[in-house]
A and B are shown apart, each in its own frame.
Chain A
Amino acid sequence: MSYLSISRVTKQFGDTVVVDDFNLDVEKGEFVSFLGPSGCGKTTTLRMVAGFEIPTSGKILLDGADITDKAPNQRNVGMIFQSYALFPNMTVAQNIGFGLRVRKEPENMVKQRVEEMVSLINLEKHANKYPYQLSGGQQQRVSLARALAIHPQVLLLDEPLSALDAKIRISLRAEIRAIQKKLGITAIFVTHDQEEALSISDRIVVMNTGVMEQVGTPFEIYNFPKTRFVANFVGSLNTADAEVVDPAKGLVSMDGVQFESAEGTEGRKKGDKVKIAIRPERLSFASEQKKANVVDATIENITFLGSVVRIQVKIGNTKFNMDTFNNPFLELPGLGSKEQVTCSKEAVLVLDE
C-alpha cells in the first residue's frame, strides 16, 4: 500500500470536467511533480489533496486513512503558495510558529521548533523581520519553514518558484530538493516549467486538459514520451508528417526522405500517416563512418544560444533544428551549403498523427 493514494479522482465545476479519472500512488519520501500548461488540472488536483476542493468522485488516502472529505484544517498537509501567502502582520518567527500555536502546543516547544526551522532555511538573522522586509526568495523560504513546522505528512508546493527571478528560482529549487531529501518528506510539486520538473523530481505526472498523459521518471518522460503532447511539451522537438513504409524494419518516409526508427511502427500498416519527432540535440553532422539515417540537408540559419549553437537545416521540404555544443574551435558550415546530417534509430520517435 502506497503512502498517498489518489484513486479515480474526478473534479467537475458545473459541466466542465477539470480533472478526469486521476490515479496516482506516491511512495513515502517521494518527490512527484505535476507538469502541464495552465488549466490542465494540476493545481486543482493539488488543492484536492490539500482539502480546498472536494472531488466530485474518487478517493484520496493518506497513510491508509481516507481524507477525501476532511476539512483542510484537519489534514496535516503542508502547503506552499505561489504568492508566498505569509501573514503580513506577523514576523518570520511568528509566521513559522502559527501552525503550532493554533494547535495549542506548549510555548517552549513552539519556540524550539521555530528556531530549528529558522536555521533550516538559514534566516536566523531575519527571524524578527516582517514579510514586507524580505525578498521574494526569502519569503518563500519562510513559507517552506512554516509549512514544515507542523510536521506535515505531505508537502504540497503550488508553483512555488513562479514569482521569483530566474537565478533565485534555480538556487531555491535546489534548496527545496535538498531539504525534502534531508527530512525524507513526501512532496508534490506543481509547475508549468518542464526544466523545473525535470531537475527536481523523482517522478513526473504530465497532465493536459484534466487527463494524465504520462507518469514516469524525468529520464523516461524526456527520452521516451508516450504521447505527442508529452513529446511536444517536454523539451523542444522537431516534428514532421510522414508515412509508414515498412513496419517490420521501422522505415518511415518524409517527403521521400527515409528514416529508420527503433520503435513506434509496431501495429502499424504500410501507408499509415504518422508524425516523426526528433529532438534537436539528437541530430548531428554525419561523420566518415556512415550509419543509419544519413540524410541530405541545406544549412538555413545559425543561431548562437550560449552553450549551444542551434543550426536550422532543411531536410526535404521540412525545417529541422539541430543543436550542437558550443566550443571555441567549432567549425560551422556556411549558410546555404549542403551537408549530410544523421541521427540514431533510437532518436526517431514515431507518434500518432
Chain B
Amino acid sequence: MSIFARIRRIPFWSWFWFILGALYFLLPLYATVNFSLRMERDVIGFKAYVRAFEDPEFLETFLYSNFLALMTIVASIILIVPTAYWIRLRLPEARRIVEFITLLPFVVPAIILVFGLIRIYSSPFKIPLTDITILQPLTTFEVGTDILIVAGYMVLGLPYMYRSVDTGMRTVDVRTLTEAAQSLGASWFTIITRVILPNIRAALLSGALLTFAIVVGEVTLASFLGVPAFGPYLFLLGQHRAYEPAALSFASFLLTWAAMGLIQLFTGDQQVSGAH
C-alpha cells in the first residue's frame, strides 16, 4: 500500500457522520438535563427532580405502569413460550401463520388497535343470537380495563417477544435438546423447567426488557382506556408544569437506557427496537 492509500484510509467522512449522529443523540438529552436543573433562578440544582418524585401521583402512576409491564411480561411468556415451543417441536406447519400473526401489530398501530378494542369491549358480550349477557363491558370495571390494556400491550410487544423467544429456541435447537432429555428419561415438567427455560433465559430476558421499555411510558392505549398510568400522567404534567416534566423525561430516558443496556449485556450485538 502506498503512502497515499494509507492517508486515504483515515476515515474523515466516517468521523464526520459519527460526530453528527452523536450530536443529534446528545443535544436533546443535554438540553433536557440542562433545563431540568434550572428550576430555581440562577441555581443549578435538583429541585425539579425532588418535586417530581415527591408528587404522590407520580409514585402511584409509575408503580401502576410497572405493574402493567410485569403483568404483560408474565402473560406474554405464558402465552408465547409454549406456542413457540410447540411449533418447533410438533407443528412446523403452523409456523407461517403464527409468524404472520406476530407481524400484524406492525400493520395495526397502537392508535388503531385501541380504537378497535374500545369499540369491541365497550359493549357487553352476548351469546350470539340471544340477549343473554355473559360478560359486562370490559371498559366499565377496573379489572376488566386492566385485562384489556394488558392484552393490548401484549399485542404491541408480540412481534418482539415472539421473535426473541423463537430465535432463542432456534439457537439452542430445542428439538434436539428435548429429544436428548426424553431419551434420558426426563418428564415433560423436567424438560421444560430444567432444560428449555434455562437455555432460552437470555432470549426471555431481552424480550421482557423490550416489553418493559414499550409499556412503562406508553401513552396511546393508556390515555384512551383511561387508566392512571405513568404516560398520561407525564403528558398532563407537561400541560401545566415546565421543569418537572423535563426531569421525568430525562429519568425515563435513563430507564430506557438501563433496559436496553441490560439487553445488550445478555444478547450482545443483536437488534433491539420497539414500536411507537
Interface of A with B (CB < 8 Å)? 54, 69, 71
Chain A residues within 8 Å of B1, by CB: 54, 69, 71
- Interface membership of B2, Cβ < 8 A: yes
Chain A residues within 8 Å of B2, by CB: 69, 71
Report how far A71 CA is from B1 CA in the complex, Å.
7
- Interface membership of B5, Cβ < 8 A: yes
Chain A residues within 8 Å of B5, by CB: 71
Report how far A151 CA is from B5 CA in the complex, Å.
26
Q: Give the 6 A-B residue pairs with the shortest CB-CB distance, closest first.
A: A54-B1, A69-B2, A71-B5, A69-B1, A71-B1, A71-B2
Chain B residues within 8 Å of A54, by CB: 1
For residue B19, give the distance in angstroms from its CB to the closest CB of chain A: 30
A69 nearest CB neighbor, chain B only = B2
Chain B residues within 8 Å of A71, by CB: 1-2, 5
B5 nearest CB neighbor, chain A only = A71
B2 nearest CB neighbor, chain A only = A69
Report how far A54 CA is from B1 CA in the complex, Å.
7
Report how far A54 CA is from B6 CA in the complex, Å.
12
Report how far A149 CA is from B129 CA in the complex, Å.
76
Main secondary structure of the interface of A (DSSP, over half): loop
**Contacts of B1-48 to chain A: CB distance below 8 A:** 1-2, 5
Report how far A69 CA is from B1 CA in the complex, Å.
6
Name 6 A/B residue pairs within 8 A (Cβ), A-sorted. Answer: A54-B1, A69-B1, A69-B2, A71-B1, A71-B2, A71-B5
A70 nearest CB neighbor, chain B only = B2
Chain B residues within 8 Å of A69, by CB: 1-2
Report how far A69 CA is from B4 CA in the complex, Å.
12
Report how far A71 CA is from B5 CA in the complex, Å.
9
For residue B7, give the distance in angstroms from its CB to the closest CB of chain A: 14
Report how far A25 CA is from B2 CA in the complex, Å.
26
For residue A58, give the distance in angstroms from its CB to the closest CB of chain B: 16
Contact with A along B75-107 (1 / 0, CB 8 A): 000000000000000000000000000000000
B1 nearest CB neighbor, chain A only = A54
Report how far A15 CA is from B121 CA in the complex, Å.
71
For residue B2, give the distance in angstroms from its CB to the closest CB of chain A: 7
Report how far A22 CA is from B252 CA in the complex, Å.
62
Report how far A54 CA is from B2 CA in the complex, Å.
10
Report how far A71 CA is from B2 CA in the complex, Å.
8
For residue A60, give the distance in angstroms from its CB to the closest CB of chain B: 14
Report how far A54 CA is from B5 CA in the complex, Å.
12
A53 nearest CB neighbor, chain B only = B1
Report how far A69 CA is from B5 CA in the complex, Å.
11
Report how far A69 CA is from B2 CA in the complex, Å.
7
For residue B270, give the distance in angstroms from its CB to the closest CB of chain A: 24
For residue B18, give the distance in angstroms from its CB to the closest CB of chain A: 27
Report how far A71 CA is from B3 CA in the complex, Å.
12
For residue A93, give the distance in angstroms from its CB to the closest CB of chain B: 32
For residue A306, give the distance in angstroms from its CB to the closest CB of chain B: 32
For residue A17, give the distance in angstroms from its CB to the closest CB of chain B: 20
For residue B48, give the distance in angstroms from its CB to the closest CB of chain A: 52
Report how far A205 CA is from B193 CA in the complex, Å.
56
For residue A71, give the distance in angstroms from its CB to the closest CB of chain B: 7
A72 nearest CB neighbor, chain B only = B1
For residue A13, give the distance in angstroms from its CB to the closest CB of chain B: 14
For residue B8, give the distance in angstroms from its CB to the closest CB of chain A: 11
Report how far A54 CA is from B9 CA in the complex, Å.
15
For residue B228, give the distance in angstroms from its CB to the closest CB of chain A: 54
Report how far A181 CA is from B51 CA in the complex, Å.
86
For residue B184, give the distance in angstroms from its CB to the closest CB of chain A: 33
Report how far A219 CA is from B78 CA in the complex, Å.
68
Report how far A71 CA is from B6 CA in the complex, Å.
12
For residue B1, give the distance in angstroms from its CB to the closest CB of chain A: 6
Report how far A99 CA is from B106 CA in the complex, Å.
43
For residue A53, give the distance in angstroms from its CB to the closest CB of chain B: 9
A54 nearest CB neighbor, chain B only = B1
For residue A72, give the distance in angstroms from its CB to the closest CB of chain B: 10
For residue B146, give the distance in angstroms from its CB to the closest CB of chain A: 50
